[in-house]
Structure 1
Amino acid sequence: MFLGIDCGTQGTKALVLDADSGRVLGEGSAAHRLISAANGKREQQPADWLLAFEQATRAALEQAGVPGSAILAVGVSGQQHGLVLLDEQGEVLRPAKLWCDTESAPQNQRLLDYLGGEAGSLERLGVAIAPGYTVSKLLWTQEQHPDVFARIAHILLPHDYLNYWLSGRYCSEYGDASGTGYFDVRRRRWDSALLEHIDPSGRLVAALPELIESGRCLGPLRPQVAQRLGLNPRALVASGGGDNMMGAIGTGNIRPGAITMSLGTSGTLYAYAEQPQVSQQPQVASFCSSSGGWLPLICTMNLTNATGAIQQLLELDLASFGALVTQAPIGAEGLLMLPFLNGERVPPLPNASASLFGMTSDNLTRANLCRAVVEGTSFGLRYGLDLLRASGIECRSIRLIGGGANSPIWRQIVADIMATPLVCPRHTEAAALGAAIQAAWSLAREQGRSTSLDELCATCVSLDESCATEPDPERSARYEVVYQRYREQVQQLQ
């Protein structure tokens, strides 16, 4: 039995996987608190992640009906780009700044200028650093909290921090490290000189975690953590990775051909590549995968956070929200939303705010507003898909995951806007599943067994053909008109 953990923005999810049969035996979840402010601050307390980890794990074990002693290895998926700072004793110095935090946008622009703009950043790192990346958060900390900066002994990502808590080791793997902004994705190594530009003393370089390959184990659980979680103290901690890298494994996206689309708090699109095909499109991040290759990816900052905001504003439950979406026509009778509540990364508009266009006394209805936010967030992903295709990525089908994938109407809207067929895996919480699969793979490698990641994905990842959705050519043509109107409004902002 293997435990997969996904520490996301909204909460932590846990699942228990029987890797021999491919069955998910039990699942659990617990929510996180978000610290936010109008200036773009988005932070969380790492202590909340630990509590949620414990609660979700106990719920998953209880549902599975298996003792914690049966768990052989643990894999962790974490929200990318977050900054967790520890002192010499391993204590957290301040709340973690998250991927969706845009407070450090000015610092990111100065670092981008230093690198020679997007072209210089692509040439040096293989990615164009964006405000959500980790590196600008370090410069922000230096300028805004010099007392905290002076005490930094360890620089970790959220999944790195959870692995440290579990195992006592300070490590990072290539996939998650790709989103820091101080990692060379082609050569798979830290860019120490960039951190020395921020702090010439070399303290930041000394605080970096050890880089390890994906599919490796850090070691056994710390005894006190095993006791707190009720797990086998001999269970090993796998390398784990970023949520997108684990989502790729959890959807079987470990070979070229398919694209995974996630409808979560943010929207993501990613594919597998065998070589570091660095795109000339700066918004395409050519991250490393956690399965041995690379993971060309785009990420929009706004998805279910935007639909959830409208749902809350209108005091609707999920079913009522979906019903209203179906009542409105394609294009919401001219009501168009740019849903940039958190600014936006794709396209790069970190300081943008959300906007409604085309409002009249006739079309400003609850149904049209619900439709406009679903369409607006989906158009952002369509723009990202266009960028991936322009970079040479083939997209014959989409594997849809995340909370939004549970909605039949949203699935149809996505298929029509993308003009591409889609299907959902049976387990749409793909990041937690991917973490559990990777834990099984890591344990097999640790024990010298020949079990491959391909074999594990073939056993553990299955597609739910009942939710397979084909695009309708007539609807796709109508959406194309609305999408071009969306692009015109975005271009005016740019």
Structure 2
Amino acid sequence: MSWLGIFIDRAEITGLLTDDSGRCLARDSLPLTCVPGAQGQDEQDPADWWAATVALIDALQEADAGALTAVRGIGLAGHGEGPVLLDGQGRVLCPVPLGGAAMAAGEGALAASLARLRARDPARLAQLALILTPKDYLRHRLADDLARVAGAARAEGAPGAVTDPASASEWHLLDPAGRNWCPQALARAELTAAQLPALRDATRPVARLSDLLRRRWGMRQAVTLGTGCGETAALATGLGLVAPGQGVLSLSGTGWVLVADGAEPAQPLPGLRCLRHALPRRWLHMGAVPMAGDSLAWLGRAAGSYPTDLTRLAQQGFRGPGAELFLPPPAPQPFASPLPGPGAAAAPALAPAAAFVGLAGHSDLPRLAQAVLEGVACALRELCDRLRANGVRLERMQVIGAGAQSRLWVEILATQLRLDLCLPAAGVFGAALGAARLAQLSVSGVAPPVICTAPPVLDRVMPMSDHGAAYEAQYRRFRAVTDQLRGTLPGDGAAPGGGA
């Protein structure tokens, strides 16, 4: 048997075929086009998503027809940024907005779409029968039941139209427990529960691929379509974040931390977001450090060097913690997903500023590069300390992203966190793999830990014991300087404090 995972973000759509062991059999991606829309946001036509999905599966058939023939389940994952508004016949009422000023202000994609349609074309808004996320729209197109479920939504309350709680939470319409639509929130949005899909666990089977499409792609048996989930939950599933304490740290353009937990916190944690996992009875905590790898790239552009050159210079000149401090900009508020592209916050008019502190005449390029590595590590520790202070365990942490190629950067991070860190072996571990795993779970009934395993460990990086005390002192200095300067830099409206 084989499994197909499909992941849609605003830039591209990706398909991944796996076998029962999770081994990649074929993979492909196709670009998606955005067009400028009103109020500064980009727009996409869901018909383009569908055309790209069909072309993507056609390409996978060319790559490995045998693997596609053996597909038993299809899982979908995607961003929740662009809600699809449908009439009672399943027709799209308007282009799907992505980002823009409304999203940057925390209004939410669904509220922004409804407000725009209410102002421009109230008669069309009156035809609204059903609202779907992008991945749910594609699932219903694959099942060829879009018109049926949209018509049923208007008449009966959307039997057959479903989404997962994690994706639904992006619309800010769930009750505090995240299990049902909130009547008060629906009233504020001028919506009814009949216009929204029912909530189902991401691992539940909900439909079957239409016979016409199954024959087109030569699939021998009936193909189950699972509920699927949002981008962050799919990424966690692909990385094997199943048990409490399992997590990942990303040293990419934006640095971020993502940790699995068995319980939702009693109250929101400063600078962090709690999301429903795709797996039952599990939650995810997430926090971001804007301009992590991007800060190193900026320094490289200013110095005429590549980031890899800077990390090499920092490694060659390393003698212990530097006197220079780098303060990354704070995360935007309200919190937005730090994952690139889909769900990423639109840039504010004036981006929060970063800062170097403690510069002197001997502060050359290697020392500045080391300061960036150390500043990002301190900022990630600040997020992790907040989690620990609220009872969230950090036990098996992976490090991914381009910055993970710098041994020094990972060693500094391990020292700050006082944790051994795992470097995963090269492979395909993204949201498309998470979607394929959800497809397998929806059919097999196997327990999630059996299927959702972590990537093989290439190397384990331990804290630098000879520099532990010095890095502890550097972190205390980082916190003191951050609290003193926060709110005083251009574009920085963050409130002081908030750490552990």
* TM-score relative to the length of structure 1: 0.75
Q: Aligned pair in 2 of structure 1 residues 339, 197: CA closer, same or farther (>3 Å)? A: closer
Task: Output one character per residue of 1:181-202: Cα deviation in whole Å (capped at 9) or x when no partner.
Answer: 1112526111132121221xx4
3-state DSSP of counterpart to 1:103: helix
2:28 maps to: 28
Q: 1:396 corresponds to which letter in structure 2?
A: E
Aligned-partner residue type, residue 275 of structure 2: F
- Which sits farther off after the overlay, 213-222 or 401-410? 401-410
Once residues 38 and 354 of structure 1 are traced to their aligned partners in structure 2, the CA distance between those partners, rounded to angstroms, is 25
Change in Cα spacing, 1:178 to 1:269, as seen in structure 2 (3 Å) is farther
Q: Does the 8 A contact of 2:102 with 2:109 survive in 1? A: no
Greater mean deviation of Cα atoms: 362-371 or 233-242? 362-371
Tell me the secondary structure at the aligned position of residue 186 of structure 1. coil
Between the aligned partners of 2:62 and 2:405, the Cα distance in structure 1 is: 24
Aligned partner letter, 1:8: D
> SS of the counterpart of 1:326?
helix
Q: Is the 8 A contact 2:424 2:458 kept in 1?
A: no
1:138-191 Cα offsets, whole Å, 9 max, x none, are 554356544464443322223222222222363201222233211125261111
Q: Distance in 1 between matches of 2:51 and 2:296?
A: 25
Q: SS at the partner of 1:85?
A: strand
The match for 1:88 is: 88
Please give the TM-score of this superposition, normalised by the length of structure 2.
0.74
Number of residue equivalences: 455
Deviations 1:51-76 (A, max 9, x none): 55445545555555634211111111
**What's 2:154 paired with?**
none
Indicate the residue corresponding to 2:116 in structure 1.
141
Q: Counterpart of 2:168?
A: 177
> Closer, same or farther in 2 for the Cα pair 1:354/1:282, shift >3 Å?
closer
Q: How does 1:382-461 map to 2 (within 5 A)?
A: 382-401=381-400, 405=404, 408=407, 411-412=410-411, 414-426=413-425, 427=427, 429-445=429-445, 451-457=446-452, 461=453
Q: Which amino acid aligns with 2:169?
A: S
Task: Give the conservation status (yes or no) of the 8 Å contact 1:84–1:155.
Answer: yes
By how many angstroms is 1:15 displaced?
1.8
The residue aligned with 2:462 is: 470
Question: Which of 188, 192, 206 is the aligned partner of 2:179?
Answer: 188
Q: 1:266 to 1:324 in 2, by over 3 A?
A: closer
Consecutive unaligned residues of structure 2, counting only runs of 5 or more, are: 147-160, 339-344, 495-500
What one-letter code is carried by the residue in structure 2 that aligns with 1:423? C
CA apart distance, 1:472: 2.5
Which of 343, 353, 356 is residue 355 of structure 1 equivalent to? 353
Q: Would you say the 8 A contact 2:263–2:283 is kept in 1?
A: no
Contact 2:429 2:455 in 1 (8 A): no
C-alpha separation in 1, matches of 2:447 and 2:35: 41
**What are the Cα deviations for residues 104-137 of structure 1, in whole angstroms up to 9, with x where unaligned?**
455xxxxxxxxxxxxxxxxxxxxxxxx2744543
Number of the residue aligned with 2:157: none
Q: Secondary structure at the match of 1:141?
A: helix
Pair 1:15 & 2:16 matched? yes
Deviations 1:452-471 (A, max 9, x none): 222223xxx24433232223
Supply the AA of the counterpart residue of 2:450.
E
Write the deviation string for residues 384-436 of structure 1: whole angstroms up to 9, x where unpaired.
32332232101123123456556656544543444432224444523222221
- 1:77 equivalent to 2:77? Answer yes
Q: Which residue of 2 aligns with 1:323?
A: 309
**What's the RMSD between the two structures over aligned residues?**
4.3
- List per-residue Cα deviations over 1:25-82 (Å, max 9, x = no partner): 2322333445679977355444454455445545555555634211111111212444
Contiguous gaps of at least 5 residues in structure 1: 107-130, 446-450
- Other structure's SS at 1:355 match: coil
CA 1:349–1:159 in 2, change beyond 3 Å: closer, same or farther?
Answer: closer
**Paired residue secondary structure (2:243):** coil
Task: Tell me what 1:218 maps to.
Answer: 206
Identity among equivalent pairs (%) = 25
Q: Secondary structure at the match of 1:161?
A: helix
